[in-house]
Amino acid sequence: MNPSVSELLKIYANCLRSRRLDEELQNCYYSDPEWKRPGGIVRSLHSAIGNELGESAVACFLQSEDFLVARYRGYAALLGKGMNPERIVAEVLRKKIGPTKGLGGNSLFHDTERNIFGSSLILGSNFSTAVGLALAKKIKNAAGIVVLFFGDGEASRPAFCGALNLAALWELPLLLVCENDGVSLDASIRETSATPTIAERAKGFRVECATLSMSDPLAFAARAKEVVRNVREQRTPFLLEILEERHAPQSTFSDDKPFLGEMIPREKDPLTLFEKELVRLGIDSSTLAGRKTDAERAIAAAKAVAEQAEQISADEFLSIFYE
């Protein structure tokens, strides 16, 4: 099932917004001490520049009733599900308009109005969250599916096997999306996994699976659309593994300068490959340029709003936990 031109442009625009947001946050982080220590609390950022397409291609096919459990790296899934970028910037700056009033920091975003449930820096903890949400949908006979994004390193946690087992046993409407960049912090997948791919583990639990690369962006978008539709219609679990290359450092603690999209060789950048495919389909270059301008303006406006927003006070911070 091939995506329509409007769907492809939606994915493209989401990739652009995610990358521009990622770049802007990094630029501010390295140039302004307040961004490193908002309110005196040291923060780091986890860039996903170069990996926007996989999340965008899945998230842009989700509906309002679908539940999203995002990972801690990057912003594409959050934006694709409808989270306002100004709330993301505000969260990083510990501002009150952030989804957790700044308490979650740069990685723990949630927005229950849009059915976005908080990610976690405790690797593997989101598996239980996603299974619980999917079970709730089944018990209530509620519409929609649950989509969980996670990395290949998380797949080595015991909770991953538990999630596959329960999802299959209870026939849950759960889509597990593994972003496999082959690196867990500094360890390669050869050092952490007995299987060359993550998806093949799902077969032992009788969970359908597929492993796809980013070499053909249009084919990936078509398969992502099909997988989301099948989980929605069949109400059974599926594991989609995305083979990626991580271009950015592990975090801003690992470098002393921002990592920008222009640092990725064009022949290795999935977003550049996607642009070429869109042009080949007949989409005018001015249309693509317009999407880039829109993304830049949206992120600039989001940053301006977040910077002017009120920061949570010490009394408010304590009252959340102790009242």
Task: Identify the pLDDT of residue 125.
Answer: 85
List the 146-151 sheet strands across, edge first.
Answer: 116-117, 67-69, 146-151, 174-180, 238-243, 208-213
Q: How confident is residue 147, by pLDDT bands cut at 50, 70 and 90?
A: very high
Q: Mean pLDDT throughout 129-147?
A: 98
Residue at 321 is within a domain: no
Task: Identify the pLDDT of residue 38.
Answer: 58
Q: Which residue has the higher pLDDT, 251 or 202?
A: 202
Residue at 287 is within a domain: yes
Q: For the chain, what is the largest distance between any 2 Cα atoms, rounded to a whole number of angstroms? A: 59
| pLDDT-wise least confident of 54-63, 120-129, 145-154, 252-261 | 252-261
Residue 251 has pLDDT above 70, yes or no: no
Task: Identify the pLDDT of residue 264.
Answer: 81
Task: Identify the pLDDT of residue 34.
Answer: 67
Task: Identify the pLDDT of residue 85.
Answer: 95
Q: Mean pLDDT throughout 297-320?
A: 87
Task: Identify the pLDDT of residue 41.
Answer: 54
Task: Identify the pLDDT of residue 124.
Answer: 81
Residue 227 has pLDDT above 60, yes or no: yes
Q: Which domain holds residue 193?
A: 5-309
Structural domain count, the chain: 1
Q: Mean pLDDT throughout 142-160?
A: 93
Task: Identify the pLDDT of residue 118.
Answer: 74
Q: Mean pLDDT throughout 231-237?
A: 98
The span from the CA of 17 to the CA of 47, in Å, is 13
Residue at 147 is within a domain: yes
Q: How confident is residue 28, by pLDDT bands cut at 50, 70 and 90?
A: confident
Residue at 158 is within a domain: yes
Residue 150 has pLDDT above 80, yes or no: yes
Residue at 97 is within a domain: yes
For residues 127 and 159, is the Cβ–Cβ distance under 8 A?
yes
Residue at 314 is within a domain: no
Residue at 319 is within a domain: no
Q: Mean pLDDT throughout 207-215?
A: 94
Residue at 37 is within a domain: yes
Residue 182 has pLDDT above 80, yes or no: no
- pTM for the predicted model, two decimal places: 0.92
Task: Identify the pLDDT of residue 154.
Answer: 87
Which token pair is 289? 């340029």
- Supply the CATH number for residue 297's domain: 3.40.50.970
Task: Identify the pLDDT of residue 189.
Answer: 73
The span from the CA of 199 to the CA of 246, in Å, is 19
Task: Identify the pLDDT of residue 178.
Answer: 96
For a pLDDT cut of 70, what percent of the chain falls above it? 90
| pLDDT-wise least confident of 33-42, 128-137, 314-323 | 33-42
The span from the CA of 283 to the CA of 277, in Å, is 9
**Beta-strand relationship, 183-184 and 146-151:** unpaired
For a pLDDT cut of 90, what percent of the chain falls above it? 60
Residues 6+ apart with CB under 8 A from 67: 115, 117, 130, 133, 134, 137, 144, 145, 146, 147
